[in-house]
Amino acid sequence: MSDASAPPPATRRPRLLWTLLGAMILVGLLPLVVSHYFLININRESLETLEKKYLTRSAVSIAGDLENLVANNRQQLQQIAAALRTMRTALPAGTDAFQYAAETKWIADYVTPDGDLLALRAINTAGQGAEAIPAGLDAAALKEMELARDVALAGGDSTGRIIHLESLNQPAMVLAVPVKDGDNVLGAVVGVVGLRRIVDRVREEGKGDVTAFLVDRDGRVLLHSEPAVDVQHPDFSNLKIVKDFAKAPARLTESYTDADNTKLIGTVAPTVANAAVIVQKPESHAYASVDQMIKRTVQWVAIALALAIIVAILFASNISRPIRMLAARSYEIAQGNYQQRVELKTHNEIGELAQNFNVMSSSIETAVEQLKKAAHENHLLFINSVRMLAAAIDAKDPYTRGHSERVARYAIAIGKNLELPEKEMRNLRISALLHDVGKIGIDDRILRKPGALSDEEFEFMKQHPAKGAAIMSGVAQLIDIIPGMKYHHEKWSGGGYPDGLEGEQIPMQARIVAIADTLDAMTTNRPYQKAMEIGYVVEKIKSFAGTRFDPHVVDAFVIAVKRGDIQIEDQVRGAA
């Protein structure tokens, strides 16, 4: 057999092969290709119509749900207004119904954990009355309630814009209705309506290759089916379908391209609060069945070709053996066995094909090995880059040198005893290495202060988890490691920072990193304390189970220490 890397020069092709090839094209392939060409065009048009109908139904359905939610809650506010109006006539003369509502606190019954109303206020024209408002409600919501109150006291209904409540971690809008006695305005009922159900609907519709979101007339995203995009509230004003909605708020279905030049097909459905629901899908996915049809066409062409070859074999049996050999070797290549080679001594096109096949197999084998090597090197580069970044953060404070590496090592040992999956272990390691990356934004004078921090300095220090999460949120590939960075100072019983989570609300990454971070802090020398013995530290951490730490994770930590998975090196006590 000749060298596979250098195919022999082309030889004179046998006349029989040309005859068979012409017969296969005329008898089998040409009619099949022509008929399928017309069928594909017909089906593409039908599929486009069906896809547009589906997207329209989805957008209209979400818009309808939002409108129904607003209408139902407005009706509930009107019922409260009617109750106040009735109470005015039923109470003794001189008794103010709004003051009575404040004393009896009966409107608080409308604000329930599983209801849509998040806050409620019923006041008379003098601004006095009852309210049921959760502590810490966002200032933006309170301002919207004041604006809505003014509209209602002027005699009109008010529907506010959609805002995001950081305190309750959900979007909401403010509704208000007047309390009237004939043409006389007695007061106003103002409510903050949560949109968590609309968030669920948007995310339900936005599964797979479909994207759903709400925008206002300025193109700002109010809700998005992808959580990573939802938290950013980006500006989509340059999207063609958003521009068309801004010009004329009407239902529309059209094709357009996004900022990445991806062709999309989408529907916009206007809804309340000067907002619109947009549901879109990449054209490549929408018309995937057409691509499947093309593949089927290729398959039928292949079948026709195979039948023609079978007929040809009757007249040229010497062709069948090399074809079968090539097919067998191709199957092995498809299964990943790239060492396959074909040994043929024929000098026609089949022999030339065998030579090219061998060259291809050799090239694929070399390319796969290079890809494996490159992937391994890229992984090492990524991990080492993360470690260098963590080391750079630790180096800002001489007392924390090597802190992030140790925290990552301890966290991995705890995760091992929790039997976490391999992917979660990889994310845990990176999250632990980068858990203090937010300290980039903390003043060095605070980081390196030898004594205890003042209250003001501690408030600055408490910002580092959120700063770190904000830094990494811009990298979509690192979204899974953010929970451990952002929430490793939360407490199991609540009261931690930055968000005051408690119990199962705290991500598992953060629960593990919290213990690993505490372990390293207690077993290394710091300006304000000497390194403690591991036995004492274990008992101390056990005492925090159920208050500061997850008891289940504490148990895994204790087991890791007993098994020797966690060991405190002697040089660490003096190095830190």
Does 513 or 449 have the greater pLDDT score? 513
* Dist. CA 388–CA 397, nearest whole Å: 15
Whether the per-residue pLDDT at 350 is higher than 70: the answer is: no
pLDDT of residue 9: 46
Mean pLDDT of 196-220: 91
pLDDT of residue 505: 94
* Dist. CA 154–CA 557, nearest whole Å: 63
396 membership: H or E segment, kind and range: none
Residue 501 pLDDT class (50, 70, 90 cuts):
very high
Mean pLDDT of 342-351: 65
pLDDT of residue 336: 66
Residue 305 pLDDT class (50, 70, 90 cuts):
low
pLDDT of residue 4: 43
* Dist. CA 234–CA 220, nearest whole Å: 6
Identify which of 168, 179, 155 has the alpha carbon closest to the alpha carbon of residue 101.
179
pLDDT of residue 10: 44
Residue 398 pLDDT class (50, 70, 90 cuts):
low
Does 342 or 521 have the greater pLDDT score? 521
pLDDT of residue 571: 46
Residue 462 pLDDT class (50, 70, 90 cuts):
confident
Whether the per-residue pLDDT at 189 is higher than 90: the answer is: yes
Residue 225: partners with Cβ closer than 8 Å, 6 or more residues away: 202, 203, 205, 206, 207, 210, 211, 212, 213
Q: Tokens in use for 291? A: 């691509």
* Dist. CA 51–CA 280, nearest whole Å: 10
Whether the per-residue pLDDT at 411 is higher than 70: the answer is: yes
Question: Which amino acid, one-letter code, is at 33?
Answer: V
User: In angstroms, how far is CA 228 from the centroid of its own chain?
Assistant: 4
pLDDT of residue 23: 65
Superfamily of the domain at 50-305: PAS domain (3.30.450.20)
Whether the per-residue pLDDT at 382 is higher than 90: the answer is: no
Instruction: Quote the percentage of the chain above a pLDDT of 70.
Output: 77
Q: What is the pTM of this model?
A: 0.48
Q: Measuring CA to CA, how many Å separate 80 from each of 91, 203, 379, 408, 418?
A: 16, 32, 61, 56, 52
Q: Tokens in use for 479? A: 């979204």
pLDDT of residue 259: 83
Class of domain 399-575: mainly alpha
Does 282 or 300 have the greater pLDDT score? 282
Residue 576 pLDDT class (50, 70, 90 cuts):
very low
* Dist. CA 46–CA 51, nearest whole Å: 9
Tell me the β-bridge partners of 270.
276
**Domain spans of the chain?**
50-305, 399-575
* Highest mean predicted confidence (pLDDT) among 227-241, 374-388, 444-458: 227-241
* Highest mean predicted confidence (pLDDT) among 40-49, 96-105, 505-514: 505-514
Residue 7 pLDDT class (50, 70, 90 cuts):
very low
Whether the per-residue pLDDT at 6 is higher than 50: the answer is: no
* Dist. CA 251–CA 278, nearest whole Å: 10
Q: Measuring CA to CA, how many Å separate 433 from each of 59, 362, 387, 427, 429?
A: 43, 41, 7, 10, 6
pLDDT of residue 560: 93
pLDDT of residue 1: 41
Long-range contacts from 154-163, C-beta under 8 angstroms, 24+ separation: 154/178, 154/185, 155/180, 155/185, 157/74, 158/190, 159/70, 159/74, 159/272, 159/273, 160/273, 161/216, 161/273, 161/274, 161/275, 162/195, 162/214, 162/216, 162/222, 162/223, 162/273, 162/275, 163/138
Identify which of 266, 272, 166, 283 has the alpha carbon closest to the alpha carbon of residue 225.
266
Whether the per-residue pLDDT at 270 is higher than 70: the answer is: yes
Residue 568 pLDDT class (50, 70, 90 cuts):
confident
pLDDT of residue 555: 95
pLDDT of residue 347: 62
Identify which of 410, 426, 404, 432 has the alpha carbon closest to the alpha carbon of residue 561.
410
pLDDT of residue 285: 83
pLDDT of residue 346: 64
pLDDT of residue 361: 72
Q: Tokens in use for 534? A: 């591991």
Identify which of 404, 427, 402 has the alpha carbon closest to the alpha carbon of residue 415.
427
* Dist. CA 310–CA 204, nearest whole Å: 52
Residue 340 pLDDT class (50, 70, 90 cuts):
low
Whether the per-residue pLDDT at 556 is higher than 70: the answer is: yes
* 270 contacts 249 by C-beta, under 8 angstroms: yes
pLDDT of residue 422: 92
* Dist. CA 460–CA 512, nearest whole Å: 24
Q: pLDDT by residue (tens digit) across 156-180?
A: 999 999 999 998 889 999 999 999 9
Q: What is the 3-state secondary structure (H, E, C) of 95-133?
A: CCHHHHHHHHCHHHHHCCCCCCEEEEEEEECCCCEEEEC
pLDDT of residue 21: 61
Q: Tokens in use for 396? A: 């800002």
Whether the per-residue pLDDT at 41 is higher than 50: the answer is: yes
Tell me the β-bridge partners of 290.
none
pLDDT of residue 530: 84
* Dist. CA 405–CA 408, nearest whole Å: 5
Mean pLDDT of 200-215: 91
Instruction: Quote the percentage of the chain above a pLDDT of 90.
Output: 43
What is the residue-averaged pLDDT of the chain? 82
